[in-house]
């Protein structure tokens, strides 16, 4: 099946109100396990590469690997550069074959975010690449077990600005802030679903949620029903994966394990874990 952009995957998800997972694809074990899960459950999938989380892995090695794996999949799989913050990195990812890029100008003044996003869209759309942008700021750090859970209202996405932003930039998806945080939530999450529904009613493009780890099953269903189409998920899975490996390795020196066994274990973990997440998002059978 050919590699697809996030636009092709997410428009259908918005229409039919299910969530599509965007998963960190930091190494082969993650990629193989995630695609196996998507194929078995006939679900669309987005593979994300983050230089912030895996700076040791060169983009020139990672992105072609994601693209090749997605192209070989038997279900629709998109690839995306996650949180690209400069044009040079985004152009490099496009030249390496990614089907989608995310430009994160959320820390910029509004008009500057609009201007830079429009330039990314102009370049990417010229070669058929989808673009996600961000408006409002998602606090915290992905991959951290100690993110601050309290949202800052001034950083939340304004529904009217979201409408203006989408119309002026022509982005294919919009990442928003409505109380979501990167990393693990401390205490009970406080998500402004009324704000989410207001944004959904004002914009025509699919909405993306970054910082979606560790919520209750009921809350995921509410988030998707309220208008989120792309669910970016890593921290909780990363913590579970590390715990699974600790069980395998046991106390130092107790278990005689060779490294290739670790690779096989990791693939099995990400396949099993991803299948559970796909069912939770309601996208099984949607491919």
The residues annotated with a catalytic role in the active site are 82
Q: For residues 72 and 175, what is the distance between their CA atoms, to the nearest angstrom?
A: 28
Query: Can you tell me which residue has the tokens 């979606």?
Result: 212
Give the strand pairing for 181-182 and 139-140: parallel
Q: For residues 287 and 280, what is the distance between their CA atoms, to the nearest angstrom?
A: 16
Cβ contact 5:99 at 8 Å: yes
Q: For residues 63 and 232, what is the distance between their CA atoms, to the nearest angstrom?
A: 18
- For residue 76, give the nearest of 108, 99, 57 by alpha carbon: 99
Q: Please, is 154 exposed, middle or buried when counting C-beta atoms within 10 Å of its C-beta (0-12, 13-18, 19+)? A: exposed
Q: For residues 48 and 56, what is the distance between their CA atoms, to the nearest angstrom?
A: 16
Given CA atoms 242, 243, 244, 245 in this order, what sign does their dihedral have?
Answer: positive
- For residue 102, give the nearest of 214, 24, 190 by alpha carbon: 24
DSSP string of 12-24, one letter each residue = HHHHHT--EEEEE
């Amino acid at each position: 099946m050919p590699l697809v952009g996030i636009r092709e995957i997410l428009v259908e998800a918005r229409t039919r109100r299910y969530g599509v997972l965007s998963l960190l694809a930091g190494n082969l074990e993650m990629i193989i396990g995630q695609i196996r899960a998507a194929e078995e459950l006939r679900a669309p999938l987005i593979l994300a590469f983050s230089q912030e989380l895996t700076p040791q892995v060169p983009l020139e090695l990672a992105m072609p690997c994601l693209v090749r794996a997605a192209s070989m999949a038997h279900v629709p799989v998109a690839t995306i550069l996650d949180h690209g913050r400069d044009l040079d990195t985004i152009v490099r990812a496009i030249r390496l074959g990614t089907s989608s890029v995310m430009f994160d100008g959320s820390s910029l003044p509004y008009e500057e975010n609009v201007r830079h996003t429009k330039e990314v869209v102009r370049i990417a759309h010229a070669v058929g690449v989808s673009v996600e942008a961000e408006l409002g700021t998602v606090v915290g750090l992905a991959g951290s077990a100690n993110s601050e859970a309290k949202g800052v209202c001034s950083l939340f996405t304004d529904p009217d600005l979201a409408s203006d932003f989408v119309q002026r930039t022509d982005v294919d998806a919009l990442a928003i802030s409505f109380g979501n945080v990167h990393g693990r939530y401390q205490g009970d999450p406080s998500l402004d679903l009324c704000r989410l529904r207001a944004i959904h009613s004002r914009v025509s493009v699919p909405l993306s949620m970054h910082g979606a780890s560790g919520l209750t099953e009921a809350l995921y269903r509410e988030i998707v029903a309220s208008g989120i189409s792309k669910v970016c998920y890593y921290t909780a899975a990363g913590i579970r994966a590390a715990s699974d490996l600790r069980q395998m390795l046991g106390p130092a020196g107790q278990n005689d394990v060779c490294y290739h066994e670790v690779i096989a274990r990791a693939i099995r973990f990400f396949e099993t874990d991803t299948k559970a997440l796909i069912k939770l998002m309601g996208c099984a059978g949607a491919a």
